[in-house]
Amino acid sequence: MELAIGIILGCCALGAGCAMIAGIGPGIGEGNAVAAACEAIGRQPESKGDVTSTMLMGCAVAETTGLYALVIAILLIFVAPRMLVNILLEAVGK
Amino acid sequence: MEKQKINPKWTDRLLIGGMILPIAVGALLKILLIPAAEGVEITGAHIFFTIPLPLGGLPITETQVNQWLVMISLYFVCRYLTRGLKKIPDLKRQHLAEWIVEQTEKLVKSNMGEYFADFAPFIGAVLGLSAFSSLLSLTGLFPPTSDLNVTAGWAILVFFLITYYKMKCGPIRYLKSFAEPVPFLAPLNVISEFATPVSMAFRHYGNILSGTVISVLLATALGGLSRLILGWLPGFLGEIPLFRIGLPAVFSVYFDIFSGCLQAFIFAMLTMLYVAGGFPVDEYLSKQKLKMQKASKKTSKKLIKNSEVI
């Protein structure tokens, strides 16, 4: 019984960690976006405001996939263990 | 005469009280009704009570209460800013109000075009509500935007707006737009249609929630660090989490203030882009023109007939 609960908790934590590998993608993408924005500002300093707001906008959109992973990780850490343990207990109780 | 001089001041004070009071009520509710967490805990919204309804109970949570408090507070802010408007402004707050309105209108016009100029109040409301909801975390209350239900509600509203403006050119054109560029991509187009509100809701919610979670983790870590380093001090001196003072505030500037305002701006921006992007203004206007011309031709023919009869 303890072993089963331990496996559930451990796998939930492991899954959350694996899910956050998705953070690599937005990191690289946003880095590229900011690099391009810096280049553009260097070339045309007068268009700094427009470039900055567009860059922030693009960064936020690129961040979405990372945030999906974050939501799944949070669910795995805070919601899933309790639910799964309850399911296990119910199954054993029957 | 004196009464007239005193009255506006008191109204001002009343309005300022109206801004601050809801936040104070929220803090009081939190202190009185929510059991204090032992140590640092990450929990969802506290459920105050549940209204029994035929289809399952309707829980009244911290989110709803705080959202209403923010709305009441914002209402008083607006009343305060727009009180006693004059043609030649002499008050600072009128300058501020005019600046806000002008900036919002400029933003809407530059992103959506002239046709959607009436959208400025809606976009302003979205911006204000979202920003103030996120900034509520500065007062220690539960920010409503870190609950998925709130942002999902807004995103569904935006989804209906997008669909309405896509439908405006006729339902056949709307259905046809799914078969572009190739008909067999229609399922993917349907999925992307529903992915819009989902991604908007998750983006806003995830950013605010991640800020909260990281702040809590940071506070815990700093508490542990100070216990590790300063734990040898005698008595209660060793128990004071010294590193927790001030340091988390630096990160809070990014996670609470910058992230909250940025997400509000992005939500409003995406609303504008999606609504304006799904609606072919030129086509709609040319269609309207054709209709008008047909109608005017008909009326003119009728007029000619009538005149012939006469």
Asked if B263's CB is within 8 angstroms of A56's CB, the reply is no
Q: Quick count: other Cβ atoms within 10 Å of Cβ B26?
A: 22
- The rounded distance, in Å, linking the Cα atoms of B109 and B117 is 6
Using an 8 Å CB-CB cutoff, list chain B residues near A71: 202, 205-206, 209
Smallest CA-to-CA distance from B269 within A51, A58, A30, A70 is with: A58
By the CB < 8 Å criterion, does B42 face chain A? yes
Nearest to A70 among B199, B206, B266 (CB): B206
DSSP string across B130-166: HHHHHHGGGGTSPPGGGSHHHHHHHHHHHHHHHHHHH
Asked if A71's CB is within 8 angstroms of B205's CB, the reply is yes
By the CB < 8 Å criterion, does B40 face chain A? no
Q: Can you name the residues that pair with B127 across neighbouring β-strands?
A: none
- The rounded distance, in Å, linking the Cα atoms of B258 and B135 is 9
Residues of chain B with pLDDT under 70: 1-6, 37-42, 235, 237-238, 309-310
Residues of chain A with pLDDT under 70: 94
Asked if A67's CB is within 8 angstroms of B207's CB, the reply is yes
Asked if B203's CB is within 8 angstroms of A64's CB, the reply is yes
Asked if A56's CB is within 8 angstroms of B202's CB, the reply is no
Using an 8 Å CB-CB cutoff, list chain A residues near B202: 64, 67-68, 71
Q: Can you name the residues that pair with B59 across neighbouring β-strands?
A: B50
DSSP secondary structure letter of residue B255: I
State the sign of the Cα–Cα–Cα–Cα dihedral B10, B13, B15, B18: negative
User: What's the domain range around A24?
Assistant: 2-93
Smallest CA-to-CA distance from B45 within B32, B24, B25, B60 is with: B60
pLDDT digits (tens, 9 = 90+) for B17-52: 888 888 888 888 888 887 776 656 667 777 888 888
Smallest CA-to-CA distance from B152 within B194, B188, B120 is with: B194
Q: What confidence score (pLDDT) does residue A39 get?
A: 94
pLDDT digits (tens, 9 = 90+) for B157-212: 999 999 998 888 888 888 888 887 788 888 888 888 888 899 889 889 988 888 88
Using an 8 Å CB-CB cutoff, list chain B residues near A67: 202-203, 206-207, 210
Asked if A68's CB is within 8 angstroms of B202's CB, the reply is yes
Using an 8 Å CB-CB cutoff, list chain B residues near A78: 42
By the CB < 8 Å criterion, does A79 face chain B? no
Asked if B202's CB is within 8 angstroms of A63's CB, the reply is no
Shortest Cα distance from A43 to chain B (angstroms)?
A: 24
Taking the alpha carbons at both ends of chain B, their separation in whole angstroms is: 69
Q: Which residue has the tokens 């009538």?
A: B306
By the CB < 8 Å criterion, does A83 face chain B? no
Smallest CA-to-CA distance from B201 within B140, B142, B261, B266 is with: B266
By the CB < 8 Å criterion, does B198 face chain A? no
How many independent structural domains does chain A possess? 1
Q: Find the CATH number of the domain harbouring A25.
A: 1.20.20.10
- Element of type H or E holding B9: helix B2-33
